[in-house]
Structure 1
């Protein structure tokens, strides 16, 4: 048992090293975006709003997590280079910039990725963005400012995407619901 724990610690240290951090962050983002969708779909099945688990939908949500994971990995590194330190004023500045710049970009990346994966036209993708963007962005303002205060104040950069995705699991369930709401209402 001790050997297994030692191996896990060694693996975690390697995974969060600079050499593998992008891959680790993207893997975490793909996995937890998929898990969020699976949770939402199983809730929809339980409430009779969905007949069966749609693996294609989970795959699409996971790939959208990949694009968001790549963005977040680079975004957090950029923010720490532009605003080094952990004073309250710097952390508050990072949270405000994160909410006003990164959050809309993440939501647009999400819709764009799903539009491409679903082979939706540009018009269909823009229509969906117009219909659903404000709901997701409003939810972002509820969830992320307090979460990011902790993220920017306490955590080293290398653990930010992991923390972000852990908090995001609940948000991903909601995102899956909003994105697929019209598809589910046809049952």
Structure 2
């Protein structure tokens, strides 16, 4: 394989991020978000189109418009909190990501998207939140904190949302398996019926 091709493709993608960050991150997030769920459903030999649509939409909305605004806000906030930059700035970003974004924006957006796309009743949505929120947030912190530290410590702003979308692919596999399509969950549900 020509080694120049991957380099040219990455350069073209980086150019898109530079010129059209919102559109590029939205499409990337949607594709990776839906793909993570498809991988788990395929492994479980199941097919829930509404759930895959929810992951697709959530990935696009989170990686695109939400992270577009959030990451810009976070960069400005960290400059205000830690104008000297360095470790203090990184700590501020990680703290805000863990205490504001993940519990107050990310998870509510995830449950709202699923409720709307999958047509959950208010009672069903409330039950999902009650049963899953705390465990999902703990898993989210464990899974995402190293990636967040890397992204905020090493990557330029234009690459952070796309990096998160890539890591999100793996997270969506974990989240999908935990929330219903994993082989164990499918087996336990089929045994209950």
Given the superposition, is the C-alpha separation of residues 6 and 167 from structure 1 closer, same or farther in structure 2, using an over 3 Å criterion? closer
Task: Provide the C-alpha distance between the structure 2 equivalents of 1:177 and 1:149, rounded to a whole number of angstroms.
Answer: 25
Asked whether the 8 Å contact 1:60–1:117 carries over to 2, the reply is yes
Determine the structure 2 residue equivalent to 1:116. 116
Instruction: Count how many residue pairs are aligned between Structure 1 and Structure 2.
Output: 180
Deviation string 1:105-134 (CA, Å, 9 cap, x unpaired) is 201100101100111122221221111111
Task: Provide the C-alpha distance between the structure 1 equivalents of 2:39 and 2:6, rounded to a whole number of angstroms.
Answer: 29
Ranges of 4+ aligned residues in structure 1 off by more than 4 Å: 1-7
Q: Which runs of 5+ in 2 are unaligned?
A: none
5 Å-filtered alignment, 1:2-21, equals 8=9, 11-17=12-18, 19-21=19-21
Asked whether the 8 Å contact 2:50–2:117 carries over to 1, the reply is no
Task: Provide the C-alpha distance between the structure 1 equivalents of 2:181 and 2:41, rounded to a whole number of angstroms.
Answer: 11
How far is the alpha carbon of 1:38 from its aligned partner? 1.2
Determine the structure 2 residue equivalent to 1:94. 93
Determine the structure 1 residue equivalent to 2:73. 78
What is the TM-score with the length of structure 1 in the denominator? 0.85
5 Å-filtered alignment, 1:19-168, equals 19-45=19-45, 50=46, 53-69=47-63, 70-84=65-79, 86-104=85-103, 105-168=105-168
How far is the alpha carbon of 1:179 from its aligned partner? 2.5
Asked whether the 8 Å contact 2:30–2:60 carries over to 1, the reply is yes
Asked whether the 8 Å contact 2:41–2:181 carries over to 1, the reply is no
Asked whether the 8 Å contact 2:40–2:173 carries over to 1, the reply is yes
Task: Provide the C-alpha distance between the structure 2 equivalents of 1:78 and 1:130, rounded to a whole number of angstroms.
Answer: 30
Given the superposition, is the C-alpha separation of residues 127 and 168 from structure 1 closer, same or farther in structure 2, using an over 3 Å criterion? same
Between 68-77 and 20-29, the greater mean CA deviation after superposition: 68-77
The answer to which structure has the higher helix fraction is 2
Q: Which runs of 5+ in 1 are unaligned?
A: none
* CA-based RMSD: 2.3
- Give 3-state SS (helix, strand or coil) of 1:98's partner: helix
What is the TM-score with the length of structure 2 in the denominator? 0.83
Task: Provide the C-alpha distance between the structure 2 equivalents of 1:130 and 1:82, rounded to a whole number of angstroms.
Answer: 32
How far is the alpha carbon of 1:3 from its aligned partner? 8.4
Given the superposition, is the C-alpha separation of residues 151 and 56 from structure 1 closer, same or farther in structure 2, using an over 3 Å criterion? same
